[in-house]
Chains A and B, each alone.
Chain A
């Protein structure tokens, strides 16, 4: 038998580039051009509608860093919100994933139940929890009253000290089910033989988790943390539908501040500068996360 060899196109051919071109064009139009325009407008003073666009150099950045206490407190809020959500959402989704990894009927049913909030819209979730937290008609304070805690009636969204964490709890409830599914997929990839071998060696459940599950789940954890970080930074609808950044700016996060600055106050120059800082903040958080994971491994 003779074997016919087909000649492959030389590696330096420009043909493969043609396949990349459509995606590259879309990326250029919808990502690179807006990003460039954002950078450009961040150096201007512009109200968003008039033809007068005044170039002000780095003045918007200088204002943000040195003379805008609202921006400083908002960055702090965004980071605290992100941190709480990432920690608890990752932890709860991992626990749920470990509990529901087996494909039993109960496991599948519970996974569906926990996943359910994810399919709701953010506004719906915001309205549901706005009602849950209501000091007069809300379910949470009602339960406290019913069990005899009549004096423990926190103002979940009205107290500046806890409002941000009440929102974070809602965000965790909203997306834990989604991350649980990612963990279940990750857990099901771990070969059973490793656990069997560990059992033969006399390892207990904790030892198996520390020595097998956790190291092999690290790539999944990185994915979960990265996605959760992005989600928490973008929780605009949830915050807007529940508190609009109040009370006293205690739940203002960067997306709501950017919206307020650009759309309500018509200060597009400053809003785009806030967006650029926001983008840098997200990059920094990702970089720190990756460094932390590398050090851990």
Chain B
């Protein structure tokens, strides 16, 4: 049994605090609106300097470049460079790299283990009293909180639910299912019509394979049961997890997954869906941008559906899944000047006009107050913003070792193992990784 990393808080030295306070005074309300909306001379100046903005969204680079250009135009002498790393190495390395790189003053974190590690490790600066925090929807802010303090603001409001091709559904004559038998029946009909029901990603990073587990976990487990898997207080041999595993067996037996599912990479799955060979891409709304990049004709033809895992829809507590991620924060190891620029940059991004530009340009809903969506796919899926959706539960397993093994267990079922055999095989592996 392993021990949880010790909690640690980052404390600024007194000298640093004074310098930071002085710098903060310079940037209150600075540079937050577009150049044409507020004359630049009306704002307190952001100190000149250069910082890096670290994140993993390569597909958002062009939109961020535009926003950076506007920000720099409003704040002469300021330079921001994007440092983009693909999501898997970002999750593995960003924390250690940013701890030793004060220039990376503004950065984003995934909700779940990465945010927890970074906040625990003192990388995030406490931003509880920053004015820009109020720009973000209060319900979404919880994703950037730890022990009552606000360390980051999420910039994505995602739906980690399968995306389906509305044209294929219409052609085959299936409707989004409202209960589990309907979901399995939908898979059978799509397969009989010659489509791959779900272009499920079984190869490479476990993150995308795991997205569909959110929908099952949401209505089959409590937050506490999922969370305590990390320290071994709940187990995969418990009845609730056996139910979750059995749902994977159901999906496999109904032909929901592609042939050779464990060899399907993310690139292949996106291509299968974009080409109209697969009816469903079981990842989330965040994949819409990538699909449209492969086939622009898919714009406006995508919707979301929720695999309700209950036989009777009334027994389901949640109608959908959402996630607040891309949690932006300020690097605690950066200099006061760098932190001041990072603060102004995040303030700028959380202004409705800029968040709107980002959201519509990247097909991501943003949890910023007052944002209006003009992107057809965001408009189509905006109805989910008001539904009873659950914050993606798989990220409640903060122990990455356990999380990986749990996903490997479920992936193994898709690959052909029975639920019982997979649980028997993985239970000791998971027990060995649990925190004491």
Contact of B93 among A68, A248, A263 (CB under 8 A): A263
User: Does B408 lie within 8 Å of A50, measured CB to CB?
Assistant: no
Q: Check B204 for interface membership: any CB of A closer than 8 A.
A: yes
Q: Check B85 for interface membership: any CB of A closer than 8 A.
A: no
Q: Which residues of B contact A261 (CB under 8 A)?
A: 401
Q: Which of B74-82, B324-332, B428-436 contacts A (4 or more CB under 8 A)?
A: B428-436
Minimum Cβ distance to chain B for residue A272 (Å)? 14
Contact of B6 among A50, A158, A263, A270 (CB under 8 A): A50
Q: Which residues of A contact B258 (CB under 8 A)?
A: 135-136
Task: List 17 extra interface pairs beyond A153-B260, A243-B204, CB under 8 A.
Answer: A49-B95, A63-B432, A68-B432, A135-B259, A155-B260, A157-B262, A158-B202, A158-B260, A158-B415, A246-B206, A246-B262, A247-B262, A249-B429, A263-B92, A264-B91, A265-B399, A270-B2
Bound-state Cα–Cα, A135 to B199, Å: 12
Q: Check B264 for interface membership: any CB of A closer than 8 A.
A: yes
Minimum Cβ distance to chain A for residue B197 (Å)? 15
Q: Check A67 for interface membership: any CB of B closer than 8 A.
A: yes
Which A262-293 residues have C-beta < 8 A from chain B?
A: 263-267, 270
Q: Check A146 for interface membership: any CB of B closer than 8 A.
A: no
User: Does B415 lie within 8 Å of A157, measured CB to CB?
Assistant: no
Name the residue of chain B whose CB is nearest to the CB of A247.
B262
Q: Check B96 for interface membership: any CB of A closer than 8 A.
A: yes
Q: Check A80 for interface membership: any CB of B closer than 8 A.
A: no
User: Does A158 lie within 8 Å of B401, measured CB to CB?
Assistant: no
Count how many pairs of residues, one from A and one from B, have CB atoms less than 8 Å apart in the complex.
121
Which B135-157 residues have C-beta < 8 A from chain A?
A: none
Contact of B8 among A50, A67, A155, A244 (CB under 8 A): A50
User: Does B92 lie within 8 Å of A47, measured CB to CB?
Assistant: no
Minimum Cβ distance to chain A for residue B96 (Å)? 7
Minimum Cβ distance to chain B for residue A263 (Å)? 5
Contact of B203 among A49, A246, A249, A259 (CB under 8 A): A246
Q: Which residues of A contact B401 (CB under 8 A)?
A: 260-261, 264-265, 267
Q: Which residues of A contact B404 (CB under 8 A)?
A: 260, 264
Bound-state Cα–Cα, A170 to B435, Å: 37
How many residues on the B side are at the interface (Cβ–Cβ under 8 A)? 44
Interface flags for A45-62 (1: CB within 8 Å of B; 0: not) read 101111110100000000
Q: Check B272 for interface membership: any CB of A closer than 8 A.
A: yes
Q: Which residues of A contact B405 (CB under 8 A)?
A: 70
Name the residue of chain A whose CB is nearest to the CB of B209.
A246
Q: Check B265 for interface membership: any CB of A closer than 8 A.
A: yes
Asked whether A156 and B263 contact (CB < 8 A) given A136-B272, A137-B268, the answer is yes
User: Does A158 lie within 8 Å of B432, measured CB to CB?
Assistant: no
Name the residue of chain A whose CB is nearest to the CB of B428.
A69
Q: Check A159 for interface membership: any CB of B closer than 8 A.
A: yes
Q: Which residues of B contact A266 (CB under 8 A)?
A: 5, 117
Bound-state Cα–Cα, A48 to B5, Å: 9
Minimum Cβ distance to chain B for residue A75 (Å)? 14
User: Does A47 lie within 8 Å of B93, measured CB to CB?
Assistant: no
Name the residue of chain A whose CB is nearest to the CB of B3.
A45
Minimum Cβ distance to chain A for residue B97 (Å)? 10
Q: Check B88 for interface membership: any CB of A closer than 8 A.
A: yes
Q: Which residues of B contact A154 (CB under 8 A)?
A: 260
Asked whether A246 and B204 contact (CB < 8 A) given A50-B6, A137-B271, A264-B400, the answer is yes
Bound-state Cα–Cα, A263 to B261, Å: 28
Asked whether A246 and B268 contact (CB < 8 A) given A157-B203, A158-B260, A158-B262, the answer is no
Q: Which residues of A contact B399 (CB under 8 A)?
A: 265
Contact of B263 among A51, A52, A69, A133 (CB under 8 A): A133
Q: Check A43 for interface membership: any CB of B closer than 8 A.
A: no
Contact of B259 among A51, A134, A153, A260 (CB under 8 A): A153
Q: Which residues of B contact A94 (CB under 8 A)?
A: none
7 residue pairs, one from A and one from B, having the closest CB atoms: A158-B262, A158-B263, A47-B5, A135-B260, A155-B263, A155-B260, A135-B263
Q: Which residues of B contact A243 (CB under 8 A)?
A: 203-204
Chain A residues within 8 Å of B, Cβ to Cβ: 45, 47-52, 54, 63, 67-70, 130, 133-137, 153-160, 243-244, 246-249, 259-261, 263-267, 270
Q: Which residues of B contact A135 (CB under 8 A)?
A: 258-260, 263-264, 268
Minimum Cβ distance to chain B for residue A191 (Å)? 51
Report which residue of B205, B261, B268 has the largest number of chain A beta carbons within 10 angstroms of its beta carbon: B268
Report which residue of B6, B99, B262, B405 has the largest number of chain A beta carbons within 10 angstroms of its beta carbon: B262
Q: Check B300 for interface membership: any CB of A closer than 8 A.
A: no
Interface flags for B413-432 (1: CB within 8 Å of A; 0: not) read 00100000000010011001
User: Does A267 lie within 8 Å of B432, measured CB to CB?
Assistant: no
Bound-state Cα–Cα, A260 to B2, Å: 14
Q: Check B411 for interface membership: any CB of A closer than 8 A.
A: yes
Q: Which residues of B contact A267 (CB under 8 A)?
A: 2, 401
Asked whether A247 and B412 contact (CB < 8 A) given A69-B432, A158-B202, A158-B260, the answer is yes
Q: Which residues of B contact A49 (CB under 8 A)?
A: 5, 8, 95-96, 99, 121
Q: Which residues of A contact B117 (CB under 8 A)?
A: 266
Bound-state Cα–Cα, A67 to B432, Å: 6
Asked whether A259 and B92 contact (CB < 8 A) given A135-B263, A136-B272, A265-B401, the answer is yes
Minimum Cβ distance to chain A for residue B299 (Å)? 23
Interface flags for B364-378 (1: CB within 8 Å of A; 0: not) read 000000000000000
User: Does A134 lie within 8 Å of B121, measured CB to CB?
Assistant: no
Name the residue of chain B whose CB is nearest to the CB of A127.
B267
Minimum Cβ distance to chain B for residue A67 (Å)? 6
Bound-state Cα–Cα, A144 to B2, Å: 47
Which B241-273 residues have C-beta < 8 A from chain A?
A: 258-265, 268, 271-272
Name the residue of chain A whose CB is nearest to the CB of B5.
A47
Bound-state Cα–Cα, A153 to B263, Å: 11
Bound-state Cα–Cα, A266 to B114, Å: 11
Bound-state Cα–Cα, A260 to B401, Å: 8
User: Does B96 lie within 8 Å of A48, measured CB to CB?
Assistant: yes
Q: Which residues of A contact B411 (CB under 8 A)?
A: 246-248
Bound-state Cα–Cα, A69 to B431, Å: 10
User: Does B415 lie within 8 Å of A160, measured CB to CB?
Assistant: yes
Report which residue of A45, A133, A260, A267 has the largest number of chain B beta carbons within 10 angstroms of its beta carbon: A267
User: Does B8 lie within 8 Å of A249, measured CB to CB?
Assistant: no
Q: Which residues of A contact B121 (CB under 8 A)?
A: 47, 49-50
Bound-state Cα–Cα, A270 to B428, Å: 18
Q: Which residues of B contact A270 (CB under 8 A)?
A: 2
Name the residue of chain B whose CB is nearest to the CB of A249.
B408
